Chains A and B, each alone.
Chain A
């Protein structure tokens, strides 16, 4: 997915879809220091640059209203570009910082674990999530709905109720309201994946053994149970 400035803005305001969230996070967390935008045409970059500049210059005091020495204007023009870049960097930095520290200032917290092997942990006030590789979670703290695809280990710190919605399971069987008890570990899993039989399973850690041996083995290995 193309990472545009509109998309980054949308992300910052928490209005992204799951897919968009995942794409932005992947981009934010990627180590590549090279050109991060994808340009279909080289001119597109120049056009966007001038559009951004026009937008910025429109909010600046007009040069006609306050005539300034030519040298100073040149200096301003020279300094504004790095300033804008610094602002953008600051915004991105704060987003990155908040993602890393799992802040819950936004209603929807989305995490995509694109790692092939490692779990990613999310520490919330009432519970901790451990998200398996290639799994993603979007948690709405207001509605208590947790959209997820893949496998997640939930360790509640308080007795809580969550609605699990498996975004990659069979739509007819993809919603499950579950009361979770403090001190008990739970596994949420999109079982099967097949359109007909796929379902959301939320089981206590002790009941995992009812799952097929291979699935059990993979879960125990992944969550170090």
Chain B
């Protein structure tokens, strides 16, 4: 009888201990999961407006709840500003004029460390110079100069300076950097000018490309093209250019209302062939007059001469006031050489600009925020064109805003 009684006491003590210790274990294991080096990073916004960063190993199946499994984003919304690499997150903080590295601590995405940079309110374009060396470019509207900062991300040491791109002239009062690409030891920077005020914004009618020697950053040549306007865009928001296997460089120009706001011009794709320092005059893939018949923005390379373009669908949105919240975006697979298009059979997507395509050797992951069918990661086999639903984000998710590889 006494044995029985002692057994019962032990059982009660065991249960009590479990109750007391389990939440701590859960917390610890969640921490471990977040910092143990997961494969992918997903940035989500919930229907209640809160933002979370999830780190996971597989996008192929299952369902995940960002609020339960993710780290809450504590700084002001910054998803459109992030640079992600090797498990680390970076951005420029406009308020403090500093370059910031973030970390995940106790289930929260918070500032880790920062370094002051001169004349930067945001990153317009970035490039990785090596494994640990990052170069960011931005226009400083007060000094009217294009600036660069090179950052060693291991210790956040920097070198900074200016890029000799001519300041806005005539009626123009602003400048945007649309792409930056190193090609055979030269830096190609695409840019355009704007006349812009709080009630009037449009883009100048010329695409400029400065070819600079590197690392001296002296202008060797400036190319001009007027077949479209607003080359590329801010590449922390989404991708607008790439180099193919054979060394040709492609970029998209986006005159639609959500980028250049010069919608009379067509959305189009330009090419700079390998070892040629000119924009190919014989190549212009006009998206607006193709079967797509709309403006597009994001542009991702999937390999073998094929790319994905994300295009808006007029008639489904009324203007910029609902451009971001109405599902109206299509994804098209493009054959760059033959200039053909084929629509991917995905639900219509919402969110004006998103880092939503991740290309791996066998699979292209595409995140889609549909109105009624939820937020999913889809998997495309670029060879066969077959599509499959993968990871689902719980129903309280409004948008998947970013998808990136962490390692």
Contact = CB atoms under 8 A, between A and B. Distances in A.
Given A194-B261, A203-B321, A221-B121, A209 B80 contact: yes
Interface in B227-275: 233-234, 237, 257-261, 263-264
A207 B197 contact: no
Nearest to A151: B198
Most buried by A among B174, B196, B237: B196
B324 interface: yes
B407 interface: no
A210 B258 contact: yes
A27 B314 CA distance: 46
Contacts of A218: 196-198
B261 A192 contact: yes
Contacts of A192: 200-202, 257, 261, 320
Given A199-B320, A202-B321, A210-B324, A189 B261 contact: no
A156 interface: no
Contacts of A210: 258, 320, 323-324, 351-353
B55 interface: no
A217 interface: yes
Contacts of A189: 198-199
A213 B198 contact: no
A194 B319 CA distance: 13
A196 B196 CA distance: 17
Contacts of B124: 213
B50 to A, nearest CB: 10
A207 B399 CA distance: 12
B176 A213 contact: yes
B256 to A, nearest CB: 10
A222 B201 CA distance: 15
Contact of B197 (A134, A194, A206): A134
B286 interface: no
A102 interface: no
B324 A207 contact: yes
A206 B199 contact: no
Interface string B70-86: 00000001011000000
Contacts of A149: 199
A164 to B, nearest CB: 10
B122 A217 contact: yes
Contact of A197 (B197, B233, B257, B324): B257
A162 to B, nearest CB: 14
A116 to B, nearest CB: 11
B261 A176 contact: no
Interface in B302-331: 318-321, 323-325
Contacts of B320: 191-192, 199, 201, 210-211
Given A192-B257, A207-B325, A213-B122, 15 more contacts: A149-B199, A176-B321, A191-B201, A192-B201, A196-B263, A200-B321, A201-B321, A202-B321, A209-B77, A209-B79, A212-B201, A212-B258, A213-B176, A213-B234, A219-B198
9 contacts: A151-B198, A190-B199, A192-B202, A210-B324, A212-B261, A213-B233, A214-B194, A215-B196, A217-B121
Interface of A: 132-135, 149-151, 168, 173, 176, 189-194, 196-197, 199-203, 206-207, 209-215, 217-222
Interface of B: 49, 77, 79-80, 94, 121-122, 124, 174, 176, 194, 196-202, 233-234, 237, 257-261, 263-264, 318-321, 323-325, 351-353
